[in-house]
């Protein structure tokens, strides 16, 4: 267990996830605190802060200490803070945003490094988010399958039905036009900061393997998608107003659970720019 001098880090599960205490997002944090928060982020893949009271501008300023905020593709941000994407499910709506296991926007040439999601309004029950450790998912494959996967490239599309439906709902509200985006990335990527290998494919975005037909691709991809989310690779987070989750898209997937029909859920999200997966 790593020793921290300025923050308290409490692991949430054996696979990944930790709650971090001693950080106030509304304040101008010392460099030493920022360094320790980033180290906890790298160690635990997703970290959680509780009881945060911040303006949209303060949330963006906090995010800038860890990376470069970017606009979320195809969706408009807040008028007063364009780099914040509102993630809202209203009482009468049935689909939630991104309600399937995924790493964010892998159909971009440079998918995001991380995402920060702040809870403003949450249902009285339900609406938890699951996270899954993709280092462990890769490391617990057989040596033979790891060798097979090395060098394979996944083709990601923003138009896969399960996830595009929720994006279309958000875009209709905003009056935007849907554009199909595609990206090609290794199915096994090496994390640029830790040097560890992680699986980098998902049912939400990966359409096929480059150079393979869709029919040839699906048996292997379906095996990976089921393997990637085994319970022992996961943690589950219960939201409260003022909770913030900061996850590493390069080595963790997430899945917001859609089990709160009839209740409102309002979140503010900042996405941090990444690099070309390698």
Residue 252 counted as domain residue: yes
Dihedral, 128, 134, 137, 140 alpha carbons, nearest 10:
-130
**Domain around 205:** 8-272
CA distances 57 to 10, 24, 66, 221, Å, are: 28, 14, 15, 40
Residue 278 in any domain: the answer is no
Residue 200 lies in a domain: yes
CATH number at residue 63: 3.60.130.10
Task: Report yes or no on 70 lying in a domain.
Answer: yes
pLDDT at 166 over 80: no
- Respond yes or no: is residue 150 known to be catalytic: no
Give me the catalytic one of 44, 250, 268, 269: 269
Residue 117 within any structural domain of the chain: yes
Catalytic, out of 205, 254, 265, 268: 254
Residue 154 in any domain: the answer is: yes
Q: What pLDDT does 167 receive?
A: 45
3 in a domain, yes or no? Answer: no
The yes-or-no answer on residue 104 being catalytic is: yes
46-49/18-21 β-pairing? parallel
Catalytic residue, candidates 102, 167, 205, 265: 102
Whether 277 maps to a domain, the answer reads: no
Phi and psi angles of residue 40, each rounded to the nearest 5 degrees, phi first: -65, -40
What torsion, rounded to 10 degrees, do the Cα atoms 188, 191, 195, 201 define?
A: -20
Question: pLDDT digit string (tens) for 14-38?
Answer: 999 999 999 999 999 999 999 999 9
* Average pLDDT over every residue of 160-166: 55
Provide the pLDDT for residue 15. 98
pTM for the whole thing? Answer: 0.93
Q: Is the pLDDT of residue 164 over 60?
A: no
How many structural domains does the chain have? 1
Q: Which of 44, 104, 248, 250 is catalytic?
A: 104
254 tagged catalytic: yes
Is 61 in a helix, a strand, or coil?
A: helix
């Amino acid at each position: 267990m790593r020793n921290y001098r300025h923050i308290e880090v409490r692991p949430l599960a054996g696979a990944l996830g930790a709650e971090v205490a001693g950080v106030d997002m509304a304040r101008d944090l010392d460099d030493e605190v920022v360094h320790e928060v980033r180290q906890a982020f790298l160690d635990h893949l997703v970290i959680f802060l509780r009881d945060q009271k911040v303006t949209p501008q303060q949330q963006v300023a906090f995010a800038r200490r860890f990376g470069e905020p970017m606009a979320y593709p195809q969706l408009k941000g807040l008028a007063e803070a364009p780099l914040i994407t509102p993630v809202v499910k209203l009482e009468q709506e049935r689909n939630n945003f991104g309600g399937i296991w995924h790493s964010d926007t892998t159909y971009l040439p440079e998918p995001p490094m991380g995402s920060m999601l702040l809870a403003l309004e949450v249902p009285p029950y339900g609406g938890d988010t699951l996270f899954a450790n993709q280092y462990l998912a890769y490391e617990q494959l057989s040596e033979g399958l790891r060798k097979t996967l090395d060098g394979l490239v996944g083709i990601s599309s923003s138009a896969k039905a399960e996830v595009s439906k929720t994006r279309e709902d958000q875009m209709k509200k905003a009056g935007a036009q849907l554009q199909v985006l595609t990206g090609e990335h290794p199915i096994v990527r090496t994390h640029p900061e830790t040097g560890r290998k992680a699986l980098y494919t998902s049912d939400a975005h990966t359409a096929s393997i480059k150079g393979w037909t869709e029919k040839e691709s699906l048996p292997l991809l379906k095996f990976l998608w089921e393997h990637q989310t085994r319970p022992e690779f996961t943690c589950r987070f219960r939201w409260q107003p003022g909770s913030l989750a900061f996850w590493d898209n390069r080595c963790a997937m997430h899945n917001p659970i859609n089990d709160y029909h009839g209740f409102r859920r309002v979140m503010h999200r900042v996405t941090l720019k990444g690099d070309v997966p390698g």
